Amino acid sequence: QVQLQQSGPGLVEPSQTLSLTCAISGDSISRNSVTWNWIRQSPSRGLEWLGRTHYRSKWSSDYAISVRGRIIIKPDTSKNQFSLQLNSVTPEDTAVYYCARTDIVVAFDYWGQGTLVTVSS
């Protein structure tokens, strides 16, 4: 059974960096058919896909235009986990952040438990 366990702070100051980690059990981060995603949810923006990382002979990541330039999603193969870094945060980045997997079809079949991140001083 695949499980995704999120960790990271729930409070980030404006202009700082939001950092979250998603630890994977029951699957390999490097398996060829899967992608590892970050999605956030807020009352104002709804569910918003932020980006993903995946391995297809080499590692690559791609991001939503709305956060491109501020976001990095990267794998840690030694720990079978991946991370989200979102730079220069503002109160508009306040949301529940989820990690999620896709396998072959781009349907998010496994999700982390969610982390409420509040951007405030």
Site of interaction with other proteins (CB under 8 A):
46-49, 62, 64-66, 98, 100, 105-109, 111-114
Nearest distance in Å: CB 80, other proteins: 20
Nearest distance in Å: CB 78, other proteins: 26
Query: Smaller CB distance to other proteins: residue 43 or 121?
Result: 43
Query: Smaller CB distance to other proteins: residue 27 or 48?
Result: 48
Nearest distance in Å: CB 111, other proteins: 4
Long-range contacts of 100-103 (CB under 8 A, 24+ apart): 100/4, 100/36, 100/37, 100/38, 100/39, 101/2, 101/4, 101/24, 101/27, 101/34, 101/35, 101/36, 101/37, 102/34, 102/35, 102/37, 102/52, 103/33, 103/34
Query: Smaller CB distance to other proteins: residue 25 or 77?
Result: 25
